């Protein structure tokens, strides 16, 4: 890989540039699942319910999803070097607040500030990577990023389990603090302004619509865990969210300077690659929230043991992601996607049949099979999408792709947790049985919990199965999208 390169009038070391982005993105992505294993401990510490504690994850994903559309405009308008540094400063501030949080409210606030930084950094990183690599090397570049995108969320539960059992949940954030500080400092020298700027105005109404629309939608899905799917506030929130998102999309297609340019979706492979990526993220993030709960609550594992049970899968991701990236350049993204999504589905279905006696070794192996499928799917989906987008719209293409993934992850997490909570509640034995026959009540409660986990795992398998169908619809080579690319470029000009 050529080290010294010149992009947008900036000469710099591509190796140091990429290394800085990888470390920064690792910290950002780690925080998407780092709360998973810590949830039971935090529920006890702050005396909150399952549906409430999951806001530490869904709230994080929601704010990321809200920030991503604005990042498309920020990338156009501001020097991306200083924009990236600002994102890391936000993330550092949120991490520190989470580390010292005296209450659940303060912890949630810290998580949301973290998410604001991540929401800017995530699409910006993808845009900058595609700006510094030629088309024939973009698959390998995405493979490098795939290590981070796959490994960080996968290793999050192991890391948090170690912290919770050996030290304190606060050190989940305490160990991330110095790494983020280092990234912030070295970014001053290694990151360059590799994206040309243009002075586009900010459409305030679009910002309002995206915030209200996506916020209402996720709130509705999340509140269903406590209030039920047919409660008035849940139904109203979901309907308002869908309606406002519809207005937001319509506005983006009909104004001169959209907050989020939706034109890349006219390219077939961009749309399919984005949708498959949404399915992979939903199946990965949502699953990694639910599985540690099963391991700790049903199987009685400690936080660190439940995290270690997922470590083999994380190592598979680290090993396979760069290999998958190189394979994309050689064989094409579609083949890998179909194979990867099929493996992901096969590895997920057995979890819908777990019991109180299922072998932990079997769970470790099956989880590793799932992550193998994810490794063959996640970055190929991004490569398929971005290869179909014209370079002059890459910032908006990255924002589109990322906002879709973040919202899919947040909604999937909210749905899985709320479905689990509702199914468990519906199957719980009558309260009076606790006094009459405590042992029977305990067995009935465990059966109710298992019913909730089974439904959640079935939903995850369905997400993966849909992904296979979408991958089969993709065109094998991005060159077949040349007509779409020309149309997009002409319309943008």
- For residue 141, give the CATH number of its domain: 1.20.1250.20
Q: What is the mean pLDDT of residues 484-493?
A: 39
Domain coverage including residue 347 = 4-193+259-492
Q: Which of 212, 227, 258 is the last residue of a domain?
A: 258
Q: What is the mean pLDDT of residues 335-362?
A: 91
My answer on whether 175 and 220 are in the same domain is no
The predicted-structure confidence for 248-293, as pLDDT tens digits, reads as follows: 989 988 888 888 888 888 888 898 989 998 888 888 877 877 888 8
- Can you tell me the distance from the alpha carbon of 398 to that of 73, in angstroms, rounded to the nearest whole number? 12
**Dihedral (CA of 354, 284, 215, 172) sign:** positive
* Confidence band for 491, pLDDT divided at 50, 70 and 90: very low
The helix/strand/coil state of 3 is coil
My answer on whether 285 and 228 are in the same domain is no
Identify each DSSP E strand in 379-482 by its residue range: none
Q: What is the mean pLDDT of residues 121-148?
A: 76
My answer on whether 234 and 373 are in the same domain is no
281 φ, ψ (degrees, to nearest 5): -65, -40
pLDDT, mean over the chain: 82
In a domain, residue 139? The reply is: yes
My answer on whether 281 and 352 are in the same domain is yes
pLDDT over 90 at 357, yes or no:
no
My answer on whether 315 and 422 are in the same domain is yes
- Can you tell me the distance from the alpha carbon of 28 to that of 111, in angstroms, rounded to the nearest whole number? 11
My answer on whether 84 and 130 are in the same domain is yes
In a domain, residue 185? The reply is: yes
My answer on whether 384 and 242 are in the same domain is no
My answer on whether 235 and 370 are in the same domain is no
Residue 41, H or E segment: helix 39-46
pLDDT over 70 at 478, yes or no:
no
* DSSP structural state of residue 479: G
| Distant-in-sequence, close-in-space partners of 355: CB < 8 Å, separation ≥ 6 | 450
The predicted-structure confidence for 372-389, as pLDDT tens digits, reads as follows: 998 888 878 888 888 787
My answer on whether 249 and 291 are in the same domain is no
Q: List C-alpha distances in Å: 237 to 7, 217, 221, 250.
A: 45, 6, 8, 20
Counting residues of the chain whose pLDDT is more than 90, the rounded percentage is 20
In a domain, residue 117? The reply is: yes
The predicted-structure confidence for 392-421, as pLDDT tens digits, reads as follows: 777 678 778 877 887 787 778 778 877 888
- Can you tell me the distance from the alpha carbon of 405 to that of 409, in angstroms, rounded to the nearest whole number? 6
In a domain, residue 146? The reply is: yes
My answer on whether 287 and 250 are in the same domain is no
In a domain, residue 306? The reply is: yes
CB 456 within 8 A of CB 357: no
My answer on whether 54 and 26 are in the same domain is yes
pLDDT over 80 at 188, yes or no:
yes
* DSSP structural state of residue 310: T
In a domain, residue 198? The reply is: no
My answer on whether 283 and 431 are in the same domain is yes
Domains contained in the chain, number: 2
What is the distance between the terminal CA atoms of the chain, rounded to a whole angstrom? 33
Let me know how long the chain is: 493
Alpha-carbon 262 to chain mean position: 20
């Amino acid at each position: 890989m050529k080290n010294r390169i010149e992009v947008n009038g900036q000469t710099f070391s591509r190796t140091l540039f990429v290394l800085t982005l990888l470390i920064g993105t690792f910290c950002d992505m780690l925080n998407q699942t780092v709360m998973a294993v810590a949830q039971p401990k935090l529920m006890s510490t702050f005396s909150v319910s399952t549906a409430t504690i999951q806001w530490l994850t869904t709230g994080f994903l929601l704010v990321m999803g809200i920030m991503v559309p604005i990042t498309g405009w920020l990338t156009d308008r501001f020097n991306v070097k200083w924009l990236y540094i600002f994102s890391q400063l936000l993330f550092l501030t949120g991490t520190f607040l989470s580390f010292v949080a005296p209450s659940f409210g303060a912890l949630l606030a810290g998580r949301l500030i973290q998410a604001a930084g991540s929401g800017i950094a995530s699409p910006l990183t993808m845009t900058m990577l595609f700006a510094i690599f030629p088309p024939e090397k973009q698959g390998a570049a995405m493979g490098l990023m795939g290590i981070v995108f796959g490994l960080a969320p996968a290793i999050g539960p192991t890391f948090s389990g170690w912290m919770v059992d050996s030290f304190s949940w606060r050190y989940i954030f305490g160990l991330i603090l110095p790494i983020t500080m280092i990234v912030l400092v070295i970014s001053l020298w290694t990151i360059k302004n590799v994206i040309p700027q243009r002075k586009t105005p900010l459409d305030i109404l679009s910002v309002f619509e995206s915030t209200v629309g996506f916020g209402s939608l996720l709130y509705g899905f999340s509140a269903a865990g406590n209030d039920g799917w047919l409660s008035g506030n849940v139904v109203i929130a979901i309907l308002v969210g869908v309606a406002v998102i519809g207005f937001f999309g319509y506005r983006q297609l009909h104004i001169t300077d959209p907050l989020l340019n939706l034109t890349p979706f006219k390219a077939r492979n961009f749309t399919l690659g984005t949708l498959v990526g949404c399915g992979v993220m939903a199946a990965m993030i949502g699953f990694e929230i639910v599985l540690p709960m099963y391991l700790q609550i049903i199987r009685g594992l400690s936080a660190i043991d439940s995290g270690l049970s997922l470590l083999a899968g994380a190592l598979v991701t680290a090993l396979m992601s760069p290999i998958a990236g190189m394979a994309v350049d050689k064989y094409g993204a579609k083949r890998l996607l179909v194979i990867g999504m099929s493996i992901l589905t096969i590895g997920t279905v057995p979890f819908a049949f777990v019991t109180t006696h299922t072998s932990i070794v079997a769970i470790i192996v099956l989880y590793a099979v799932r992550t193998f499928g994810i490794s063959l799917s996640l970055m190929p989906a991004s490569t398929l999408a971005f290869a179909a987008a014209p370079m002059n719209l890459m910032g908006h293409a990255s924002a589109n792709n990322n906002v879709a993934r973040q919202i899919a992850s947040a909604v999937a997490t909210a749905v899985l947790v709320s479905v689990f909570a509702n199914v468990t509640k519906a199957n719980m034995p009558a309260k009076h049985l606790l006094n009459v026959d405590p042992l029977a009540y305990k067995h009935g409660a465990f059966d109710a919990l298992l019913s909730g986990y089974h439904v959640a795992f079935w939903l995850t398998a369905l997400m993966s199965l849909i992904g296979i169908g979408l991958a089969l619809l993709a065109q094998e080579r991005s060159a077949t999208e040349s007509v779409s690319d020309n149309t997009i470029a002409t319309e943008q000009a």
